[in-house]
Amino acid sequence: MRHSSLFLGLVFGLLVGLTSTDRIAYAKSERPYPGTHVTATPFSFSELRGRLEAAIQANGMFIVTPASASAGAKRRGITIPGNLVLGVYRNDFAVRMLKASVASGIEAPLRFYVTENADGTATLTYRKPSAVFGVYGSADLDRMAAELDAIWAKIVTQTVTK
């Protein structure tokens, strides 16, 4: 009995160690999630932000959660490169999402991330909605995500095209 407990403890410890190592390697990736798109632009941070906000509105979506580490730091007298996350969604999609899968509600709002580069330009990062919702294995979510993919493509094109 004592040997089997020791063996199980060793196996458990090995499994925890292996999964922890995988998570560490995964977290070091610049694109840790599938479906992540990163687009460098010639625009400044403030210009890219304005272009993105306009494109979101032009495509019938809403900014429901803005968050900016750089704005918060500035209020504290600290300067860091521009950094902004915009949570974007629309209620009709939220209702459909929750009807298909209550668990998927943690994914909303979907996000766009604007970051300022050292050379004064800015980068746009986002995950395709189909990548975000695809893990739930729901045909209804997949259909909805495909609609959102098309909207996201329009938003991105309008944002990054001169």
Q: pLDDT tens-digit profile of 98-144?
A: 999 999 999 999 999 999 999 999 999 999 999 999 999 999 999 99
pLDDT at 17: 45
Residue 76 to residue 144: CA distance in whole angstroms: 41
pTM score, whole prediction: 0.81
From the list 42, 61, 17, the residue with the least C-alpha distance to 153 is 61
Strand partners of residue 38: 125
Domain ranges of the chain: 1-30, 35-160
Residue 93 to residue 143: CA distance in whole angstroms: 11
35-160: CATH superfamily:
TT1751-like domain (3.30.310.70)
Do residues 51 and 155 make contact, with C-beta atoms less than 8 angstroms apart? Answer: no
Average pLDDT over residues 90-105: 98
Q: How many CB atoms lie within 10 A of CB 135?
A: 13
More confident residue, 80 or 18: 80
